[in-house]
Structure 1
Amino acid sequence: MGKKVLFFGDIGIDDAIALIFTYLTDKIDIVGIVADYGNVSREIAARNVRYLAGKIGKMDIKIMGGAQRSMTGEVPVYYPEIHGFHGLGPIVPPSDIPAEELENFFGVIEIIERYKEEIIIVNTGRLTSLATMFILYGDLMKQIKSYYIMGGAFLYPGNVTPVSEANFYGDPVAANLVFKYAKNVSIYPLNVTQRAIVTPEMVNYIHSKGKTDLVKPLLDYYYDFYKKRVPNIQGSPVHDILPLMGIMYDDMFTYYESQILIAENGTARGQSVGDFRNFFTPENLDNRPRQRVAVNFDYNKFFKEFMTVMTKEQF
C-alpha cells in the first residue's frame, strides 16, 4: 500500500496528469480529493475528478467540493486559454456526471480522523479550502503528517505577475494562513515546476504503450499553449506532479528552509517571500514555522521516474 494522500486541486491539465500518475504508481494511495475553484469553477473541477476517476477505474475515491471563491471575496478569474473551458483541454467530460460531491466538504474531517497521523495533504491549487480547515479545525490539523504544496516563485519570475505565481496570487490571504499555522510543509514553486518538462517525444512514447489514452490529448493541448507563451520551450511543464514526486523521491530535490510570508496587496500581491540569506536568518516573520522550499531538482531522475511509472517500463 502506498502513502495515504488527501489531494486538494483545481483539476486542470497538470492536476489531471498528477492524478493519472498516482493511479499508475503503487507508492501513493489517494484516499480523497477536494475539488476547488482555480483553473475552472468548483463545479467543473468536481466533474473533471469524477470523469478521471471513471476513466482510470477509481470510482471508489471520495470526492468533496471545496471552495467556490477566495478569502478576498473576489469573483474568481479563470484561464480557459491555458486549460480549456472545461479544464481538460480538448476533452469535454459528459455533462450528466453527478455533482453531488459539491456540498460535502467536511468529509475531509472523516478522512483525517480515519488515517490520523499517516495522512499527507497535497495541494496543487488555491489554498482557500486548506486554510479554511485551519480556521475551523486547528487541533485536528495537527494530526496531519506533512503537507506538499505547489505554488509560489521565490526570487524567480511569476506566471501571473512579474513576481507572483497563480495559486498564491489567487488567494494570498489563504496562503498566508496556511504558512502561518501548518508545520512540516514542502513547497514546490515555479523555480522547479517550470522545469519539469515533458517533451512531445515523451508524450508519444507514453501514448504508444497504451497505459492511458488521456496523456497525449492533455499535454498536446498544454504544449500548444506554452509554445505561444514561451516559444523556445521544449515541452509541457507538469507543475502539479512535483509535490507527488517529492513524497516519493525526496532526494530528487534540493531544499532551502525558511519562514514564508505572502504579500497580500498592491503590485506585490501573491509574491512569496522567504529569507534566503545564508548568513542571517532571524525568526521575525510573525513567529511562523520554517518550511522547506524546493529550489532545485534532478531532471534526469524526474525523467526516469515519470517515464517508468507512466509506461510500466524501467528507464
Structure 2
Amino acid sequence: TIMANPGEITLVPLGPLTNVALAVATEPRIAENVKEVVLMGGAASVAGNASPVAEANIRNDPEAAHIVFHAGWPLTMVGLDVTQQSVMTQAYMDRLRGANNRWTDFIYAITKHYLDFYRGLGIDGMPVHDSSAIAYVIDPTLFETKHVYTDVDHQSQHHHGQTVPDWRGQRELEPNVNVCVDVDSERFLDLYQRRLSEAQA
C-alpha cells in the first residue's frame, strides 16, 4: 500500500478520478506518501472530446478531478494535447502484429473496433490515450511539460469538466500540475512497439 511504502508508488489513473478522490479524501496522508500521480485526462490547449472544451475522463466526474488536482501531490496531466499527437495507423498495427506473441495479438484484436471507428471518419489510425500515460512513467523525456497552476471547472454549465491551466500566471497561485504539452511521438511509438514485441509470454 501507499502508506506502507512512502515515496515508492506511482498512481496512474486512466479513467474518471472518482476512486482516487475518494481515497485521498478518506486518507489525506496519501498525498504526501505517494511518489506521484500521472493521469490520462484533460485538454489544456486543444478541443475536448466529451464537450467542446472538456476531455471525457475529467468531464465524467469533474468534482473528483477538482479534488485530485488540489490534493497537493506531484501530479502530471497527460491529456489530449499529447495523446492525439501519437497515432497508430493500420500499417503500424500490422507491424506490431508481426511480432506474433500473445501480447501483440491481443492488442491487435482489441483495437480493431477502434481502428474501424476512425476509418469510418476517414482517418487512418487511432490516437493513443491511456498508453501515453504509461509511456510517461517509463520515460518522461518523451514529453515536454509545463508546471502551471491548473484548475478544473466543476460548476459552470458550458465548461463543466474543462481543465484550465493558468499559462501566464495571472492568478498568482502556486503551480500544481505538470501539464504535458508536446510529445516525441516517433520515439513513443517505437518504445511501445519494442516493449510489446520483446515481451515474454
Verify same fold: TM over 0.5: yes
**Equivalent-residue separation in structure 1 for 2:41 and 2:30 (angstroms):** 24
**Equivalent-residue separation in structure 1 for 2:65 and 2:175 (angstroms):** 14
Q: TM-score, normalised by structure 2?
A: 0.91
Alignment of 1:61-140 (within 5 A): 111-140=1-30
Q: Secondary structure at the match of 1:117?
A: coil
> Is residue 150 of structure 2 the alignment partner of residue 224 of structure 1?
no
**Equivalent-residue separation in structure 2 for 1:238 and 1:115 (angstroms):** 31
**Equivalent-residue separation in structure 1 for 2:4 and 2:131 (angstroms):** 25
Q: CA deviation at 1:221?
A: 1.0
Equivalent of residue 157 in structure 2, options 257, 266, 270: 266
Q: TM-score, normalised by structure 1?
A: 0.59
Equivalent of residue 143 in structure 1, options 33, 37, 40: 33
Unaligned 5+ runs, structure 2? none
**Equivalent-residue separation in structure 2 for 1:260 and 1:308 (angstroms):** 34
Q: CA RMSD in A?
A: 1.7
Task: Provide runs of 4+ in structure 1 moved above 6 Å.
Answer: none
Q: CA deviation at 1:226?
A: 2.1
Q: CA deviation at 1:116?
A: 2.4
- Give CA-to-partner distance per residue, 1:53-92, whole Å, 9 cap, x none: xxxxxxxxxxxxxxxxxxxxxxxxxxxxxxxxxxxxxxxx
Equivalent of residue 283 in structure 1, options 169, 172, 186: 172
Alignment of 1:294-305 (within 5 A): 294-305=180-191
> Is residue 175 of structure 2 the alignment partner of residue 175 of structure 1?
no
- Give CA-to-partner distance per residue, 1:93-129, whole Å, 9 cap, x none: xxxxxxxxxxxxxxxxxx2234321110001100000
- Say if 1:256 and 1:295, in contact at 8 Å, map to a contact too: yes
Higher relative contact order (CA 8 A, sep 6+): 2
- Say if 2:31 and 2:71, in contact at 8 Å, map to a contact too: no
- Give CA-to-partner distance per residue, 1:254-300, whole Å, 9 cap, x none: 111111111113011011101112xx44434xxx6521000110011
Q: In the alignment, which residue of structure 1 is the partner of 2:193?
A: 307
> Is residue 85 of structure 2 the alignment partner of residue 195 of structure 1?
yes
Q: Percent identity?
A: 28
Unaligned 5+ runs, structure 1? 1-110
**Equivalent-residue separation in structure 2 for 1:226 and 1:153 (angstroms):** 20
